[in-house]
Amino acid sequence: MTSEDVREVLGIIGGTGPQGRGLAARWAMAGHTVHVGSRTRDKADAAVADVVERIGPGHDLHPGTNADVADAAEIVVVALPHTAQADTLPPLADAIGDKIVCNVVNPMVFDDLGPRAVPVPEGSAAEQCQDLVPDARVVSAFHDVSSRRLLRVDEAIDTHVLICGDDAEATHRVAHLASRIEGMWGVHCGPLRNSEYIENVTPVILWINRYYKIQAGLLIDGIERDPEALHAHRAEGDTRAGRKPRA
């Protein structure tokens, strides 16, 4: 079986915000079972109800606490506010174990001039996530994807998804998840440490979108969309290469 045939069970920790709900909607439409998590069950219930209202009934969507989601998922997606990540993830580390974790967290704040990146001691939100769930295979992705575009579920999103990771198989599988959303294509951008630069460009994209009143994404000139290569499901080289040494 190639990854073209696979519909992994997905769990979104902090899935009640716009990014989490948008990804849940898109992946449910693509045939995935999606668990939407929150600190409280009632917020997860409301988020799933919102997604169902957008995409219609008949999809495999399940609300739950963040702990429920971490336990149920085959691939975990972390869509928390950056300020909540350090407190939320450590209690879930055992449930997450060595699963693939797709981190979509953007460390930024808003001031009078607009969005601004904030420094992360570990280098990036994705690297912080790796430290908080040390056995997991963390991949960074979807930072550059507009949540508003995700929630307009009747429209394709013609954009590249910039992906960083130290585990080749995990990175490949997240690229496949990107391809399940109509119009998207994953672009491999190196080891997890490179996520710092992608996270830091997100406030720039938001500022552009506000100024020009658009919902822009990124397209890398010269990248070919090759489904045959994408679905080959390969894992090449040292699967943990590129990690920064721990202090």
For residue 241, the model assigns a pLDDT of 34
Strand ranges of the sheet holding 34-38, from the earlier edge strand across to the other edge: 61-65, 34-38, 10-13, 75-78, 100-103, 137-140, 159-165, 184-188
Q: Where are the beta strands (DSSP E) in the chain?
A: 10-13, 34-38, 61-65, 75-78, 100-103, 108-111, 114-117, 137-140, 159-165, 184-188
Per-domain boundaries in the chain: 10-230
Q: Which fold has domain 10-230?
A: Rossmann fold (3.40.50)
- Assigned token pair, 165: 């990771």
In whole angstroms, give the CA distance from residue 180 to residue 50.
21
Average pLDDT of the segment spanning 214-220: 91
Q: Please give the share of the chain, as a percent, with pLDDT higher than 90.
A: 86
pLDDT in tens, 39-81: 999 999 999 999 999 999 999 999 999 999 999 999 999 999 9
For residue 237, the model assigns a pLDDT of 41
For residue 150, the model assigns a pLDDT of 97
For residue 4, the model assigns a pLDDT of 65
